[in-house]
Amino acid sequence: MPETKLILDHALEHAAAHPDKVYLTQPVGGGQVTDYTWAQTLDQSRRMAAHLQSRGFEPGARIAILSKNCAHFFMAELAIWMAGYTTVAIFPTETAETVKFVLEHSGASLLFVGKLDTWPAQQPGVPADLPCIAFPLAPSTAFEAWDAITQRTPPLAGRPVRKADDLAMLIYTSGSTGQPKGVMISFGAITRAGEGIAKDLRARVGDTGESRILSYLPLAHSMERCWVEAASFIDGDTHVYFAESPDTFLQDLQRARPTMFISVPRLWLKFQQGVFTKMPPKKLDRLLGIPILGKIVARKVLKGLGLDQVVMAGSGSAPIPAELIAWYRRLGLKLWEGYGMTEDNSYSHTSNEQFSALGYVGVPLPGVQVRISKDGEILIKSPGQFSGYYKQPELTAESFTEDGFFRTGDLGERRADGLLKVTGRLKELFKTAKGKYVAPAPIENLLNAHPMVELSLVSGLGQPSAYAMVVLSESLRPKLGDPAVRAQVQAELGQLLKDVNQQLPEYERLRMIVVAREPWSIENGCLTPTMKIKRTRIEAAVAPQVEAWYEGGSGVQWA
């Protein structure tokens, strides 16, 4: 019986079937782009695969990539796979310490260095004796260049074959609770997840014609790797555009005019706040309520965001406020929430036209089984299931039930129609002095829906009641020197505190909202590379002030 087609076979077949179709569009600076056809993409990958094999690494050797999203990330991944090796992608924002940990833990034999913003700070994490190759858009280095290697190396011949249980990649989780874990992904798992995602996306955007997508969320993260890269390897009719930089993001979007757009809640919120800086929420709300004119205004807003051609928009990686989804849908953007994790290749749940309710993450994708444990934990069995944690057999064993369901660590509820609501993280639950458990995530969602709030954290272990910290929106922060603005913020957050508390049971009500002194960022260690908050880091930083906040009388306090 022939082996089932795997992800590498799909890519090789597309290059043979439509070699001249443009697959990847890479900005190269100064408003210029380079297009790569399927044939050019695979030719470069075959040449690099031949070079990697010539270095004599053992079968399955780990080859690392440290780069922002770019066309050569896709090419390098295919080259690594064709050469018989395993990819280890490192978040491009990681510190030297984490870069060193991942390279050493994975036992990497070589590192591709690509587009990076902070390479001088990261380089000390790269062992001096580790072979490195520089992508065309890499910072200036002494490493041998990708182009020089591919120009002199003949392409790998024939049809490279991998087995379903071969290791395709190690994905190191972004580590919101400590040291990253290496999630082992087989070719079978990434193929089944990629095929399921490609089929789901095709059903939404239509079976014919080219789909366009902008790749900008970190490819080291499971969501982008599966929903963009893997799905495009399998679909064959998806044109992938890359973003050049945060400063050119709007131009990158306008160039791509994507039909599919996937983001994380923090960025959906930032887009909304960007709209509000041009038009106050109340005025926009009023205009949207006017027949005919409302549709024109909504279209103009979406066009300004570069999202007017989007047929399918998705949000994942963290909970998104229901009010934010409702706001985008009012503009005419079909924004669907999804749910998945690295351990199931982000192939788990998604909303769609038939199954969708605000506050719910959707229904299981085809082949996914789900149940809720007696403790309220969501248990998942997915065709995209991982093989285990690299070098951590005990943790792997603990993470599964006896019948093979993965323990997600998330708390949830299911409706009769299969719609799933994620109500928090098992490890994030904390007890107040009243002895009752508080789940932070749903309360944070209520706070994050306010236009003044960019991020929030609910805490209060062992305290008389919970409290919230908030980071104010980016447009508001520079104006806080104005006493009138500060007074307005104080008043609005006071009202927000009342509004949120009215929606909560007595034991979950917040004692106060504290305004963070500095924004939380990846750079200061308060956010993971996928923009999740690092609770323990933030809680430890503010611990000396907490008692004083509780002793202060005000419902709104400034850190």
Chain centroid to CA 276: 24
Given a cut of 90, is residue 78 above it in pLDDT? yes
Alpha-carbon dihedral sign for residues 346, 348, 349, 353: positive
Residues in the chain: 559
Both tokens assigned to 309? 């051609």
pLDDT of residue 233: 98
> pLDDT class for 22, splitting at 50, 70, 90?
very high
How many angstroms separate the CA atoms of 385 and 267, rounded? 28
Mean local confidence (pLDDT), 378-383: 97
pLDDT above 90 coverage of the chain, percent? 80
Question: Two tokens at 286?
Answer: 């009023």
Q: Is the pLDDT of residue 402 over 80?
A: yes
Query: Which pLDDT belongs to residue 529?
Result: 83
Pairing of strands 132-134, 144-145: parallel
Tokens 């380089």 map to which residue?
123
Name which of 443, 444, 453 is nearest 508 in CA terms.
443
pTM of the model: 0.88
Compute the average pLDDT of residues 476-499.
94
Least confident piece of the model among 62-76, 281-295, 423-437? 423-437
* Residue 39 near residue 17, CB atoms below 8 Å: no
φ, ψ for residue 397, nearest 5 deg: -60, -40
Q: What's the rounded mean pLDDT across residues 367-396? A: 96
**81-85, 134-138, 262-266, 394-398: the lowest-pLDDT one:** 262-266
pLDDT at 109: 98
SS3 content of the chain, % helix, strand, coil (to 5): 40, 25, 40
How high is the mean pLDDT of the chain? 93
> Could you tell me which residues come within 8 angstroms of residue 510 by beta carbon, excluding any fewer than 6 positions away?
443, 458, 465, 466, 467, 468, 497, 500, 501, 504
Q: Which of 122, 112, 106, 26 is nearest to 69 (CA)?
A: 26
> Domains in the chain and their CATH numbers?
7-225 (3.40.50.980), 361-426 (2.30.38.10), 429-558 (3.30.300.30)
| Residue 421, burial from CB neighbour count under 10 angstroms (0-12, 13-18, 19+) | middle
Amino acid residing at 211: S
Instruction: Check: CB of residue 215 under 8 Å from CB of residue 242.
Output: yes
The pLDDT confidence band at residue 156, using thresholds 50, 70 and 90, is very high
